[in-house]
Chain A
């Protein structure tokens, strides 16, 4: 029968072993995988302004991006393709809060530069390779 000592060894050994593998894979992901999939070399001032505004205003508190966030408002990973830049500008410029179907977005007082930053951010996001997410709706074809 398993002794307490063996059980402890199983715990410590297993943890150390899988931690080493995890660190190795993480280093690869951070230095090669993610930069490639997300075109990290294309990140510029404009996109980073958009990214900062996304963070500061907690847009993720209603929307999802890359499937992460809350489930009150639409997924935005591919919004640049789905709606196009002009539609996005209209949404962001609605100072009283966008909400054509009744469900209200918070109204923001963005400058022109900030709106363009967010549009650039969505364009960048649109071109990321997310292993097939979001899926193509199978019934709509």
Chain B
């Protein structure tokens, strides 16, 4: 850690881990409900559980992004954070808004709009909070001694993510129009501007961990994020096939969304090439593992499994089935969850001075959570294919098909248990680091000789 003010990142990382644990608990509640054991129905009906599960996911990932930005931007711009006091205020208000939102879901204070269930009055607080965050980041960047491409790409990703939240706050009488704009938020986030954030954080990690020259890494960063928007903007059309949009979206959405995996493949090739070019001497193997797995698993979950159901003739049958849940899990895990775990694995030793770089617990955490998530994806895939076949092709009633998918949810729960063990070990390592402290200032200097710039 270069500056004391970077310590604030720890708050966000810790919040992230707490919310991840809660998210997993709600995941189990739903897994059991699908299996026929909806035991919490009276207190936490399925719609409460699903809403909480998804919003906790978004909030812990955003919290991770914020922590990442608070760590990376001062380092990249060689300037302490614009204001530690404001950053603390931003943290606590963020946490409080999050708690209110989650509590609200349990008493029916919500909007039935998948992923954007936070009610509009609370949306304004979210917006105010994010503006404060962006002001702190932008001021730090502007005052900094240098403004690198990596930090600009990361910051622009965050700025556009905030702007795109706004169309999701307007109410429309026509539910099809409502849905149209909902995708401006959800799709253009995960298949658009969040990829800028991902590219920025990955580039930073690769510069630090591989020792490849910054100019080379940042050039390819532009190419990758260029591919993202080239395909991802018109790719939004894959959500407009069957939700009231005109039929030209079948063609346009089909073609461009089928190109989206290229951006993720670009990310994979980018990371692996840099790794092979690099000197491989940085001792933080865990951070390197998570960095490379993000680049690879995002391609599998988002790219390959996205491609599997994005063409209109396939999507006609899989749209709104458990096949979508299969893709949703591996895509979010590979691209964004792993990314947050990667930057945490990199930053924690430097913030605390404890060099947990390659221990047994960390390795087991990596393998259990990844293998667990792949197994979960397989269980969702089996359930999804069964559902599509029985309901959409053979014409059985929904509930008849649901009965047949119960065994797959048993497998899902087994897989989820392995996954949870992995996450438990990751968190146990996280706690072992202890708190960030001033003795850790300058820890990264000893790795300077391994880095080109």
Contacts and interface: CB of A to CB of B under 8 A. Distances in A.
Interface string B359-403: 000000000000000000000000000010001111101110011
A71 B244 contact: no
Which secondary structure dominates chain B's binding surface?
helix
Interface centre among B47, B173, B393 (most CB of A within 10 A): B47
Contact of A2 (B149, B173, B223, B319): B223
B226 A10 contact: yes
B320 A64 contact: yes
Nearest to A36: B246
Contacts of A90: none
B320 A130 contact: no
Interface stretch (B88-96, B109-117, B411-419, B425-433): B109-117
B273 interface: no
Interface residues of B, number: 71
Interface residues of A, number: 68
Contacts of A134: 392
Interface in B11-62: 30, 33-34, 36, 38, 41, 45-48, 50-51
Contacts of A129: 244
Contacts of A111: none
A29 B320 contact: no
Interface stretch (B202-210, B229-237, B438-446): B229-237
A37 B322 CA distance: 27
Nearest to B227: A14
Nearest to A140: B395
Given A7-B223, A66-B243, A139-B394, A61 B112 contact: yes
Nearest to A141: B395
B114 A29 contact: no
A128 B246 contact: no
A137 B392 contact: yes
A134 B51 CA distance: 25
B291 to A, nearest CB: 21
A133 B176 CA distance: 14
A34 B112 contact: no
B233 A137 contact: no
B357 interface: no
B246 A106 contact: no
A4 B245 contact: no
Contacts of B180: 26, 29-30, 34
Interface string A57-70: 11111101111111
A13 to B, nearest CB: 8
Interface in A52-107: 54-62, 64-75, 101-104, 106
B321 interface: yes
Nearest to B388: A135
Contact of B218 (A4, A18, A22): A4
Contacts of A103: 36, 38, 399, 402
B173 A137 contact: no
A117 to B, nearest CB: 13
Contacts of A22: 233-234, 236
A130 B176 CA distance: 10
Contact of A70 (B50, B113, B241): B50
Given A21-B234, A58-B51, A70-B46, A33 B243 contact: no
Contacts of B41: 104
Contacts of B48: 61
Contacts of B176: 34, 37-38, 66, 128
B243 A71 contact: no
B113 A34 contact: no
A55 to B, nearest CB: 5
Contact of A69 (B34, B114, B240, B245): B114
B108 interface: yes
Contact of A3 (B219, B392, B403): B219
A75 B320 contact: yes
A37 B395 contact: no
Contact of B226 (A15, A29, A33): A15
B250 interface: yes
A60 B219 contact: no
Contacts of B177: 30, 34
A41 to B, nearest CB: 11
Contact of B175 (A7, A64, A65, A133): A65
Query: What are the 7 A-B residue pairs with the smallest beta carbon separation, nearest first?
Result: A61-B47, A137-B395, A67-B320, A33-B246, A140-B395, A133-B242, A7-B222
29 contacts: A2-B219, A8-B222, A11-B226, A15-B229, A15-B233, A22-B234, A22-B236, A26-B180, A28-B246, A37-B244, A51-B175, A55-B175, A61-B47, A61-B48, A61-B51, A66-B176, A68-B179, A69-B114, A69-B320, A70-B47, A70-B50, A74-B397, A103-B402, A130-B242, A131-B245, A133-B316, A134-B392, A137-B391, A139-B393
